[in-house]
Amino acid sequence: MTPVLAHDLVTAPEAAPDRWMYVLHGVYGAGRNWSSVARRFARERPGWGAVLVDLRLHGDSSGFEPPHTLARCAADVAALERRLELPADAVLGHSFGGKVALLHAQAAAAPPSSVWVVDSTPASRAPDGSAWQMLEVLRRHPGPFTDRAEGIAAVESGGFTRPVAQWMSTNLVDDPHGDGLAWRIQVDDMEALLRDFFATDAWPTVERPPDGSEIHVVKARESNVLDDEACERILSAGRATGGRVHLHHVDGGHWVNADDPEGLQRLLLRHLDGS
């Protein structure tokens, strides 16, 4: 049987939403990373609910067979929509999840009306950066660890900050082969997924959005994920599409869900009405 993505439904108390926003996290993350943002949004828009998704190889979404690609990630989300019988009216993707959101919109038979790409570049490039460097840390320090503190220290030894190491430690689980804790991440599979992420060019979806869809790209002011050239390309796409592509700015760095949840909330409330 084909596995189903792990997920959580977030709604306002006693609400019965008839519109749904699927939320796709960044690499090494899980849907729960966005639970605070989802709860805030649902309280203000009780006609909306949020589906917090664990993408394949992340969180509790295990058992997925290769190939591990962004296209397969997008197909997994579409399969979850069908399983839940809750079509996506909006999809929000952060970082890695931003590209997945764009590919999902491009492939969907009924694309979401609103696609949110949060501090994520549509561009392809050579593998590099902190997510790529983390793979080497996981290979050098596979565990088992006697406790979470030892796993955190292992990540810090790779040059990562304490907050990043603490967040990464949420991927430690009981070692199935013995005592202690080990990473639930299968490094070779994750490398395949990251290689495809870096190789994928999602600009065609930004510059030619599916019929009926609007693209909202959110740049964190203190992040360099989207450079000036990329921002100008997004603005040009907005002009060329008659205003169906938007560029927004929020304060803080790449982890906008933690750095400026209020700014992100204002954007969502402004553009996702309660009707």
The fold adopted by the segment(s) 7-124+200-271 is Rossmann fold (3.40.50)
What local confidence, expressed as pLDDT, does residue 1 receive? 72
Reported as half-sphere exposure (CB side, CA atoms, 13 A), residue 79 has a value of 15
Rounded CA-CA distance 65/57 in Å is 10
Considering the entire predicted model, what is its pTM?
0.95
What local confidence, expressed as pLDDT, does residue 273 receive? 82
Burial 4-42, CB ≥16 within 10 A → b, else e? ebbbbebbbeeeebebbbbbbbbbbbbbebbbebbebbb
Q: Which residues of the chain have pLDDT under 50?
A: none
Q: Which of 259, 245, 263 shows the shortest CA–CA distance to 116?
A: 245
> pLDDT tens, 145-154?
999 999 999 9
Q: Which residues fall within 8 angstroms of residue 8, CB to CB, at 6 or more apart?
A: 31, 32, 35, 51, 52
Backbone angles phi, psi at 150, to 5 degrees: -65, -40
What local confidence, expressed as pLDDT, does residue 274 receive? 61
Burial 157-167, CB ≥16 within 10 A → b, else e? ebebeeebbbb
Domains in the chain: boundaries: 7-124+200-271, 130-190
What separation in angstroms does the CA of 168 have from each of 32, 155, 196? 13, 8, 22
Rounded CA-CA distance 194/70 in Å is 9
Q: Is 143 left (phi over 0), alpha (psi -120 to 50) or beta?
A: left
First to last CA, the chain: 38
Q: Which of 24, 28, 9 shows the shortest CA–CA distance to 155?
A: 28
> pLDDT tens, 57-109?
999 999 999 999 999 999 999 999 999 999 999 999 999 999 999 999 999 98
